[in-house]
Structure 1
Amino acid sequence: MLEYLVSAEFYQILLFYVYSGILIGAALAVVILRNVVYSALFLILAFFSAAALWLLLEAEFLALTLVLVYVGAVMVLFLFVIMMLDVKVKPKSGMSNYTKVGIFVALLMGLEMIMLLGKKLAHVLPQDDLIKHAKGHSNIKEVAENLYTQYVLPFELASVILLVAIVAAILLTLRKRDDYKSINPEQQVHVKASDRMRVIKMDTEKGNYIGDEQ
């Protein structure tokens, strides 16, 4: 029993349940919490936990893509939307609640990284126990072969759907509305100084000033 508890198989199962629990808890927090800033922070934690699960499955390319694209790009877009929502924050002395939640999320992410790399760096587990693929195996090559051979039709359909969604969003924003003032770039390029400014000659008039004799 003791040998199994210190084995690589048990440690990998333990990591799976820990990461899955954090992922489910973070996903529930995203849906349940009413504060959009808290939801965004826990969404980052959910993405990071999902990336850790993919690392356990030895899908390094998918894990790095999830962190770089979703955490690094999509979450930036979400934060821009949150800032445009005009979220009112009451000023408080000392550390704000957003900082506390951010530190809590950062500590959980750091704990996940330590649990994933700690034992291998400390040489407690054999280096090859968690490796299932043969040497020279390329995760990127395997993903590309499956994506462009077996799943090429769903991949192309998803690309077309995303393209249609992008074009539809552009058309909806460019429609003409009476209550919206738009700018014509072509007219701005061909405009001249005489079109923007007009000099008007007016006769001078003598005004009354305070202190003048009537």
Structure 2
Amino acid sequence: MIVNLAFYLFSLILLASAVMVVTARNPVHAVLFLILAFVNAAVLFLLAGAEFLAFILAIVYVGAVAVLFLFVVMMLDVDFAALKEGFQRYAPVGALVALVLFGELCLVVSGWTVLAGAPAARLHPTPDNISNTAALGSLIYTSYLPLFQLSAMVLLVAMIGAIVLTHRERKRSLHQKLSVQHARTPEQTLVMVHAELGAGAAMPPKEKETL
């Protein structure tokens, strides 16, 4: 009974937060509702016995993707009013796409069949008393190890490509050329001034050098 109540409670919060994601006018609020939706979805995975999917959802999506969206929205000075100026022109096309998607959802729901005993189905440990996380880890790092490494290489290449595309060489005011600095002689850097005892010496103005 407690599990069923928890399921309906978190499901209701998940649906409400998902609606607020697409209806919130403030993009920061939309991202915060997105994080709330991810957290509730992770709790539902825990109730279903899929602790690995729950941890992945909480760590990857909440801890990385959603927080990244939040920082991008808060740090970038985006004029959302200017982005919404041409909304009326594309409203008919958007309505047509929404109608097509709604028809596809109706076709899927109309042909949906529920297996007997499906509401009580849960993910349980394997007969060898191995948890879901251990079973998935054993499968990934044995049968699918080459594909796992290939996906890691693709992500690494994508990360390096993003860094290369966004990197810009910045020349600061104190930028120096080491070859010119090493080639300087004492005659170019020192000025010998004869000053009598007890009298100050007026330093001649130094010429500016481009280093």
Cα shift readout 1:40-72 (whole Å, capped 9, x = no counterpart): 110111110111011012222332343234323
151 and 46 in structure 1: CA distance in 2 versus 1, 3 angstrom threshold: farther
Question: Is 2:30 the counterpart of 1:39?
Answer: yes
Q: 1 CA distance for matches of 2:139 and 2:5?
A: 30
Aligned partner of 1:70: which letter? Y
For structure 2, the 5+ residue unaligned runs are: 80-121, 190-202, 207-211
SS at match of 1:137: coil
TM-score norm. by structure 2 comes to 0.50
Which structure exhibits the higher relative contact order, with contacts defined as CA atoms closer than 8 Å and separated by 6 or more residues? 1
Correspondence for 2:53? 62
Aligned residues: 142
Correspondence for 1:144? 137
Q: 2 CA distance for matches of 1:59 and 1:188?
A: 58
TM-score norm. by structure 1 comes to 0.50
Question: Is 2:62 the counterpart of 1:71?
Answer: yes
Correspondence for 1:102? none
The correspondence for 1:173, drawn from 166, 172, 175, is 166
Q: 1 CA distance for matches of 2:10 and 2:142?
A: 32
Question: Is 2:151 the counterpart of 1:163?
Answer: no
Give the RMSD, CA atoms, in angstroms: 3.9
Aligned partner of 2:63: which letter? G
157 and 53 in structure 1: CA distance in 2 versus 1, 3 angstrom threshold: farther
Q: 2 CA distance for matches of 1:131 and 1:153?
A: 27
Structure with bigger gyration radius:
2
For structure 1, the 5+ residue unaligned runs are: 1-5, 89-129, 176-180, 203-214
Q: 1 CA distance for matches of 2:53 and 2:177?
A: 46
Correspondence for 1:50? 41
Q: 1 CA distance for matches of 2:18 and 2:142?
A: 33
Q: 1 CA distance for matches of 2:22 and 2:150?
A: 29
Question: Is 2:194 the counterpart of 1:201?
Answer: no
Q: 1 CA distance for matches of 2:13 and 2:72?
A: 26
Aligned partner of 2:7: which letter? F
